[in-house]
Structure 1
């Protein structure tokens, strides 16, 4: 499954679905609880009843927000990316070339994920298992990653919507990155191997 889905660099669809302040707060608590449980015990630790109890919401309310743990964990992945997306919108990414800038930001994102192995395992597994019902959550993740890589390629936080050609490049880079993360989560690659594999791919794609 490709992590990027459309040519876009905004997260308007996520903001438009945020709802009232009370709904936003409830959603925040639910995702906080999901991330805490996944950090403690990985994919299997995220159970809907446990999430509801920790977030202090009724189980029926939780299901109205997120129909399954897959929806929960992919949304959590989107929130993990949101901070990076916001920061790249405010300041330029270091590097003299597109290759250097893309590697700088992806290396930082990878290291942040590797510092939370159980949480990352849970979110990556959920992304792998996601079906068509999780399209909205996957779309948000894709938009955020597209925005980050697009700004890194351009070298400016003011970079607008990705072109069709840029989007194709971003899709390939994103897919390589996701594949490397899956290999790391499943123990087929070490942290340095992930870095080397990604650097080789980006170097071949970008000047």
Structure 2
């Protein structure tokens, strides 16, 4: 991604295409996050984002091209910043600390369900830009800096975040359609982590 040089992994999600756009770009992302926090996906409209951010609607559209792309990218920015903060305070104790970190991250969505609603519903978009970005983004980027993963076998450390992402996403879609409670998402992800730990322990015997 062109633009400002990222100082941390999450900065890439907040970086404007060009340095001269950075201040307005961040205002747009923060306004989108605030609106989603207040009312979920339905609360985020390009006109509302422009009004909240003080950035012209034409400029907002220039940055993101569509409402779904705006919502999706903004939710990734929020998620990435929170995930990085969680990782900074995590311990190096393999699956135990990984479970704790993932639980903290998902519980942030439980406190602010509007953000999860906005994220999930934007990922269901047929917008070609969102579809392409969805193909290339998952929790695998956590493997680059989360301390608990460093103590695991490299193959396990590489696949664990992606597997957890799939379970989290599938469960969140069911939540978005009213099929399960938010608490069930945490339970399912925790169960997968414990199963991976058991499978790894058995393979080492």
TM-based fold match above 0.5:
yes
Say if 1:30 and 1:52, in contact at 8 Å, map to a contact too: yes
Query: Counterparts of 1:16 and 1:136 in 2: how far apart (Å)?
Result: 19
Unpaired runs of at least 5, structure 2:
1-7, 201-205
1:19 alignment partner in structure 2? 18
2:91 alignment partner in structure 1? 94
SS at 1:57's partner residue? Answer: coil
Relative to structure 1, the CA distance from residue 126 to residue 16 in structure 2 (aligned partners, 3 Å threshold; closer, same or farther) is: closer
2:142 alignment partner in structure 1? 148
Whose RCO is larger (CA < 8 A, sep 6+)?
Answer: 1
Superposition RMSD on alpha carbons, in Å? Answer: 3.1
Query: Counterparts of 2:132 and 2:12 in 1: how far apart (Å)?
Result: 9
Unpaired runs of at least 5, structure 1:
1-8
Deviation at 1:88, TM superposition (A): 5.3
Query: Counterparts of 2:111 and 2:174 in 1: how far apart (Å)?
Result: 16
Bigger proportion of residues as helix: 2
Equivalent residue pairs, number: 190
Query: Counterparts of 2:75 and 2:27 in 1: how far apart (Å)?
Result: 15
**Residue number among 162, 168, 178 corresponding to 1:177 in the alignment:** 168
Q: Report the TM-score when normalising by structure 2.
A: 0.76
Deviation at 1:48, TM superposition (A): 0.9
Relative to structure 1, the CA distance from residue 59 to residue 16 in structure 2 (aligned partners, 3 Å threshold; closer, same or farther) is: closer
